[in-house]
Amino acid sequence: MTVTAMALLFAGSFLASLLLCGLARRLLLRFQVMDRPVERSVHAVPIPRGAGLAVVPILTLLWLFLPAIDPAAKPLPWPLLIGTLLVGITSWIDDLRGLPPLPRLGVQAVAVILGLLALADLPPLFQGWLPRPLDLALGGLLWLWFLNLFNFMDGSDAVAGGQALTIGLGLAAIAIDHDWVGLTAAQGLALAGVALGFLAWNKPPAKIFLGDVGSIPLGYLIGWLLLWAASQGAWAAALILPAWFLADTTLTLIRRAWRRAPLLEAHAEHSNSAAIRLGHSHARVAGLALIANIALALLALGAERDQQELIGLVGAAATVWLLLRKLKYPPKPQAPETEGAGPED
């Protein structure tokens, strides 16, 4: 795939997402599909939710027809397409009128099992350390966890979109470096372009949210990309790229389990939401997260290029620790400006 073709793919996916997210916003406003503030919200005004109605179809269509642009790319496998439709439809119903957690989880599990059919012919996800049935079963559990944690972290402006952007660019760079066949830079660039188009509407102050119809299917598709990368030997990158989301949601779940808080109940204890409640602005949280995610993408690329997985993982742990520490405490109060003060003689 030429550099020109990659640039056109990225630009085209960005423009399609930008335009269709704007159209989706108008329709959602017209039909009053809104995210209305509740006690755990970090937004004060109703905001349209459902950008996934634009983002997910664009991404799936691009992945379906990628071989026409890049002969080395494989089209979206049909089991994965069916799985995306299942979680997308269920999540849209949940956005409109709500669904209990267990039926949602059941549909997601079916979608993951379907997706595993698309991974069954690939090399082992865990590098041959486990028997094949256990390898796929553990991969499926991690996938189910990832698509939910992606939804959990979609609580403040530009966070989920920024994560999708850096994962897409990171995987694209690694695919180019490794000259992968099947999963190529095209998949990553399409993901990054679509995410950037959404971010134009979701940057602080957000004008639209993904909704469950966006965050769940997007987490599902990104999870498949990460598992595919792990099967090609890039297991460290698959852990490093989403390291903040992985660490934050896992630590939050452990804390809630320790307190015996309901694990399936919605809450605002993730670091991005908690930071905003402490007084950080959406822009500051999104900016800090983006800086950390760019650092994680560079660490993932370096770990795979130089086969320094351990160094990359240690660097990722340090990066996530610094980000969580920054978000844990209230922002420092700014000193008031002194009025009428002139230069000293």
Distance (Å, whole) CA 80 – CA 114: 6
Indicate the average pLDDT of the chain.
91
What does the pLDDT read at residue 264? 66
% pLDDT > 70, the chain = 95
What does the pLDDT read at residue 266? 67
What does the pLDDT read at residue 337? 46
Distance (Å, whole) CA 345 – CA 327: 42
Model confidence pLDDT, tens digit, residues 296-332: 999 999 999 878 999 999 999 999 999 999 999 888 7
Q: What is the mean pLDDT of residues 133-148?
A: 95
Give the SS3 label for residue 209: strand
Torsion of CA 239, 190, 231, 177, to 10 degrees: -90
Q: What are phi and psi of 201, to 5 degrees?
A: -100, -20
Higher pLDDT, 179 or 158: 158
Model confidence pLDDT, tens digit, residues 242-263: 999 999 999 998 988 888 877 7
Higher pLDDT, 71 or 194: 194
Instruction: Count Cβ neighbours within 10 Å for each residue of 179-212 and write b for 16 or more, e otherwise.
Output: ebeebbbbbbbbbbbbbbbbbebbbeebbbbbbb
> Is residue 212 marked as binding?
yes
> Is residue 154 marked as binding?
no
Weakest-pLDDT range from 21-35, 61-75, 300-314: 61-75
Per DSSP, what are the bridge partners of residue 34? 48
Distance of CA 105 to the CA centre of its chain: 18
Distance (Å, whole) CA 121 – CA 88: 25
Distance (Å, whole) CA 306 – CA 102: 43
Per DSSP, what are the bridge partners of residue 35? 47
What does the pLDDT read at residue 334? 63
Give the SS3 label for residue 127: coil
C-beta separation of 218 from 84 below 8 A: no
Residue count (the chain) = 345
Number of Cβ within 10 Å of residue 326's Cβ equals 18
- For 215, half-sphere exposure in the C-beta direction (CA atoms, 13 angstrom radius) is 27
Distance (Å, whole) CA 328 – CA 306: 33
Number of Cβ within 10 Å of residue 93's Cβ equals 16
Higher pLDDT, 121 or 276: 276
The sign of the torsion formed by the CA atoms of 318, 268, 104, 187 equals: negative
Which pair of tokens denotes residue 325?
A: 């520490």
Model confidence pLDDT, tens digit, residues 36-56: 987 777 888 999 999 999 999
The model's pTM is 0.93
Task: Give the model's confidence band at 152: pLDDT under 50 very low, under 70 low, under 90 confident, else very high.
Answer: confident
% pLDDT > 90, the chain = 71
DSSP secondary-structure letter at 193?
H
DSSP letters of 241-256?
A: TTHHHHHHHHHHHHHH
What does the pLDDT read at residue 76? 85
DSSP secondary-structure letter at 204?
S
Q: What is the mean pLDDT of residues 118-145?
A: 91
What does the pLDDT read at residue 181? 66
What does the pLDDT read at residue 342? 42
Burial of 130 (0-12, 13-18, 19+ CB in 10 A): middle
Look at residues 336, 71, 112 and name the one whose alpha carbon lies nearest to residue 219. 112
Weakest-pLDDT range from 5-19, 61-75, 211-225, 252-266: 252-266
What stretches of 119-234 show up as alpha helix (H) in DSSP?
A: 132-152, 159-178, 185-202, 212-231
